[in-house]
Amino acid sequence: MKHQISHTLKLCLMALATLLPLACVNEDPFDNTPEGNFEALWKIIDEHYCFLDYKQKAIGLHWEEVYGRYKKRISPTMTNAQLQEVLTDMLSELRDGHVNLYTSADVSRYWSWFEDYPRNWTQQLRDHYLGTDYKIAAGIKYRILDDNVGLLVYESFGSAVGEGNLDDVMHYLRSCQGLIIDVRGNTGGTLTYAERLSQRLTNERLLVGYSQYKTGKGHNDFSAPRAEYLEPSEGVRWQKGVVVLQNRECYSACNIFIRNAHACERVTTLGDCSGGGSGMPFSSELPNGWSVRFSASPSLDKDMQHIEFGIEPDIPCQLDSADVSRGRDTLIEEARKLLKELHAH
């Protein structure tokens, strides 16, 4: 293994929505030593991570102070496993599920964004409501409940769904008095599929948020905010009430879906705060060949507020243990009540 390399920072957009050209920024060389890899990682985050200023204000994160604390744990004789532990702990200070350190032995990750909160759903309860005769359209499961309310479950935006699939789903559910879209436990995936579903919920072009990208190495070096609009689908669109069920595991592309749905007139969101994850991930490489993924381009809501730490629901609702013991999903039942009230008016 080389002891010294000329390090080139490679910023590669992870494909969440569209493919962009590879951007490369030349950096000063770092030695392939524990100290050199530590310095390289700290500098990558310092110059290219997009939430340092925001998280300093929101959670009191001071990246320079982090440097001092973790530099003390670096030793020239430490093993790769020990180095990875220190670097992982340092990255965890960012509290970002989009930040990962990849080695040949492991992938370091931060999961406390959902592990420290109630799940607010169970697979067993969901399966109970779906039954065994539900329909499947690509990544979507759906059925009509016995009170004529449609239930649509999208477990991961990593599962593809086409425009034809959505046309068929909307057409099948057209006679229902309302629609429940359950995305609890959906940790994200491909932004295209999240946008396709949300485009079925509006008849007009809506401002849903803004995006920015880094223009320099300073913590506040960003482009002017670029408006993002939700365009109505050219296919079959839902014209009645919708309740979107969300929980802390709704992350990344699912967080963007909730942002979009929240802007739609006929949509009510119900559950607890989503998990967040509003930064578009990029990747870079350390001198020893390890790669690091991190958030480099922030997404904002229509009021230009950060959604990195999640989006609050219109109606807070928690899974009740007494309901669970009776085989009832509190959130689904509350959604059914709400849709019946909306339909009656």
Q: What is the pLDDT of residues 85-102, one digit of tens each?
A: 999 999 999 999 999 999
Q: What is the pLDDT of residue 343?
A: 84
Q: What is the pLDDT of residue 161?
A: 97
Tell me the pTM: 0.90
Place of tokens 């999640």: 310
Please tell me the total number of residues recorded for the chain in this structure.
345
How many CA atoms are closer than 13 Å to the CA of 275, on its beta-carbon side? Answer: 31
Q: What is the pLDDT of residue 29?
A: 84
- 155 and 105 both lie in a single domain: no
Distance of CA 284 to CAs 4, 32, 44, 109, 308, Å?
A: 17, 15, 8, 16, 21
- 52 and 195 both lie in a single domain: no
Q: Say whether pLDDT at 184 is over 60.
A: yes
Question: Exposed/middle/buried for 26, CB within 10 Å: 0-12, 13-18, 19+?
Answer: exposed
Rounded to the nearest 5°, which phi and psi values hold at 183?
Answer: -115, 20
- 44 and 164 both lie in a single domain: no
Question: Residues 186-210: what's their mean pLDDT?
Answer: 98
- 188 and 269 both lie in a single domain: yes
Q: Say whether pLDDT at 21 is over 90.
A: no
Question: Residues 312-321: what's their mean pLDDT?
Answer: 97
CA 339 remoteness from chain centre: 27
In the numeric block, which tokens belong to residue 17? 């929505």
- 83 and 176 both lie in a single domain: no
Q: Which amino acid is at 176?
A: C
Residue 43: CB atoms within 10 Å: 17
Q: Say whether pLDDT at 23 is over 90.
A: no
How many CA atoms are closer than 13 Å to the CA of 114, on its beta-carbon side? Answer: 23
The secondary structure of residue 224, as a DSSP letter, is: P
Residue 144 lies in a domain: yes
Question: Residues 134-146: what's their mean pLDDT?
Answer: 98
Residue 290 lies in a domain: no
Residue 225 lies in a domain: no
Total number of domains constituting the chain: 2
Q: CA-CA distance, 215 to 119, in Å (whole number)? A: 38
- 34 and 182 both lie in a single domain: no
Q: CA-CA distance, 117 to 276, in Å (whole number)? A: 13
Residue 227 lies in a domain: no
Q: CA-CA distance, 296 to 13, in Å (whole number)? A: 9
| 3-class DSSP assignment, residue 87 | helix
Which residues have a Cβ under 8 Å from the Cβ of 265 and sit 6 or more positions away?
202
Q: Which amino acid is at 293?
A: R
Of 98, 115, 132, the position where a domain reaches its end is 115
Q: Which of 22-26, 117-121, 218-222 has the lowest mean pLDDT?
A: 22-26
Q: CA-CA distance, 261 to 201, in Å (whole number)? A: 7
Q: What is the pLDDT of residue 120?
A: 95
Residue 303 lies in a domain: no
Q: What is the pLDDT of residue 28?
A: 61
* Confidence band, pLDDT 50/70/90 cuts, at residue 13: very low
Q: Say whether pLDDT at 332 is over 70.
A: yes
Residue 90: CB atoms within 10 Å: 21
Residue 295 lies in a domain: no
- 136 and 105 both lie in a single domain: no
Question: Residues 304-321: what's their mean pLDDT?
Answer: 97
**CB contact at 8 A, 32 and 287:** yes
CATH number of the structural domain spanning residue 16? 3.30.750.44
- 14 and 103 both lie in a single domain: yes
CATH number of the structural domain spanning residue 320? 3.90.226.10
Of 72, 87, 115, the position where a domain reaches its end is 115
Distance of CA 23 to CAs 13, 111, 220, Å?
A: 8, 28, 19
- 75 and 40 both lie in a single domain: yes
The secondary structure of residue 223, as a DSSP letter, is: P
Q: CA-CA distance, 233 to 187, in Å (whole number)? A: 24
H or E stretch covering 143: strand 140-144
CA dihedral (39, 45, 48, 54) in degrees, to 10, reads: -140
Q: What is the pLDDT of residue 169?
A: 98
Residue 319 lies in a domain: yes
| 3-class DSSP assignment, residue 119 | coil
Q: What is the pLDDT of residue 266?
A: 96
* Confidence band, pLDDT 50/70/90 cuts, at residue 27: low
* Confidence band, pLDDT 50/70/90 cuts, at residue 177: very high
Residue 83 lies in a domain: yes
**CB contact at 8 A, 188 and 155:** no
Q: Say whether pLDDT at 160 is over 50.
A: yes
pLDDT tens-digit map of 247-289: 999 999 999 999 999 999 999 999 999 999 999 999 999 999 9
Which residue segment(s) compose the domain that 255 sits in?
A: 123-202+237-276+311-344
- 55 and 166 both lie in a single domain: no
Of 82, 115, 148, the position where a domain reaches its end is 115
Strands 279-285 and 291-301: antiparallel
